[in-house]
Amino acid sequence: MSRLEIRNLWKEYGQQIVLENISLTIAPRAFVALVGPSGCGKTTFLRLLLGQEVPTRGEILLDGQPLPREPGPDRGVVYQRYSVFPHMTVLGNVMAGPEMKTARFLGRRFGAARRAIAEEARAMLAEVGLAGAEDKYPAQLSGGMQQRLALAQALMMKPRVLLLDEPFGALDPGIRSDIHRLMQRLWNETPMTVVMVTHDLKEAFTLATRIIAFERRRDRPEERDRYGASVGSDIAVWPPRSAGGPTIWTSDYLPDRDDPILWGPTTGTTRPQGA
């Protein structure tokens, strides 16, 4: 159930080493925030998890199986911008993925199957607060609405892993905290593991169960080709959160959920000493 294992992963582009020997185990339903300086390979790492890039060395396993070498419905992605199709309506955007999948299986889309998808898409739009906007086009939506649409689009495929590349970075602070609450609820209710790249540590601490920082230990210009980024710190967020609780707010503070092992091996915790 959506456990990710990254073993001795290297990624090189030509002469440049981007990622150097990354090994991580990410527990099912964890919410990992990935931070690190610009250019250290965070997007590259997400693209590897998505299957858009292949490792130079090492392997990635999803629930014990090697990751297929192409993006598939088990992994969804939301980018900072432009994740949605501009020429399709809001409803069309959310229906597009499942329709393509159905068309592949059935050869053509049967009316009943299409109606079922439309119904599910409307429910998903309501879930992310976009009821009433079904017939609009993305350009007619605010930035926050577009990102909620992108989330709805990704979640329609019921991914086991949701990858987020600074999805909320361009939003105004008020809209951001609204979408953070939405994101917490979706993570809590949906059986998926989330890996989110962010530049914002506050966002990382608000949402994540675990914060992983990529770091280039050797970053002098002449060293850049020979050394890539690796895991600089790996921190379990305190108090621990777990998905699937009755509400995210109570699960945030359950006193008996204090075992960081739940989230896979980490090297630190934000738990205060003595707590």
> Residue 213 CB, nearest distance to ligand ATP (Å)?
11
Nearer to Mg ion, 40 or 208 (CB): 40
Nearer to ligand ATP, 58 or 129 (CB): 58
CA 53 to chain centre: 16
What distance, in Å, lies between the first and last C-alpha atoms of the chain? 31
C-alpha 156/C-alpha 90 separation (Å) is 13
Nearer to Mg ion, 151 or 229 (CB): 229
Asked whether position 80 contacts Mg ion by CB under 5 A, the answer is: no
> Residue 270 CB, nearest distance to Mg ion (Å)?
24
Nearer to ligand ATP, 44 or 147 (CB): 44
Cβ count near 60 (within 10 Å): 20
Is 43 in contact with 229 (CB distance < 8 Å)? Answer: no
Q: Which of 45, 33, 7, 43 is nearest to 270 (CA)?
A: 33
Asked whether position 146 contacts Mg ion by CB under 5 A, the answer is: no
Q: Can you give the binding site for ligand ATP, defined by CB under 6 A?
A: 13, 18, 36, 38-44
Nearer to ligand ATP, 11 or 160 (CB): 11
Asked whether position 102 contacts Mg ion by CB under 5 A, the answer is: no
Nearer to Mg ion, 33 or 248 (CB): 33
> Residue 196 CB, nearest distance to ligand ATP (Å)?
12
C-alpha 148/C-alpha 119 separation (Å) is 18
CA 248 to chain centre: 18
Nearer to ligand ATP, 41 or 138 (CB): 41
C-alpha 246/C-alpha 264 separation (Å) is 23
Name which position in 3, 19, 29, 43 contacts Mg ion (CB under 5 A).
43
> Residue 62 CB, nearest distance to ligand ATP (Å)?
20
> Residue 38 CB, nearest distance to Mg ion (Å)?
7
Q: Which residues of 175-213 are buried (b: 16+ CB within 10 A; e: fewer)?
A: bbebbbebbbebbbebebbbbbbbeeeebbebbbbbbbb
- How many residues belong to the site for Mg ion (CB under 5 A)? 1
> Residue 162 CB, nearest distance to ligand ATP (Å)?
17
39 contact choice in Mg ion, ligand ATP, none (CB below 5 to 8 Å, kind-dependent): ligand ATP
Asked whether position 44 contacts Mg ion by CB under 5 A, the answer is: no
Joined tokens for residue 226? 């020979």
> Residue 39 CB, nearest distance to ligand ATP (Å)?
5
With left for phi above 0 and alpha for psi between -120 and 50, is residue 97 left, alpha or beta?
alpha
Q: Which helix (H) or strand (E) holds 31?
A: strand 31-35
- Piece of the chain touching Mg ion by CB under 5 A; list 18-26, 39-47, 80-88, 94-102: 39-47
* Residues in touch with Mg ion (CB under 5 A): 43
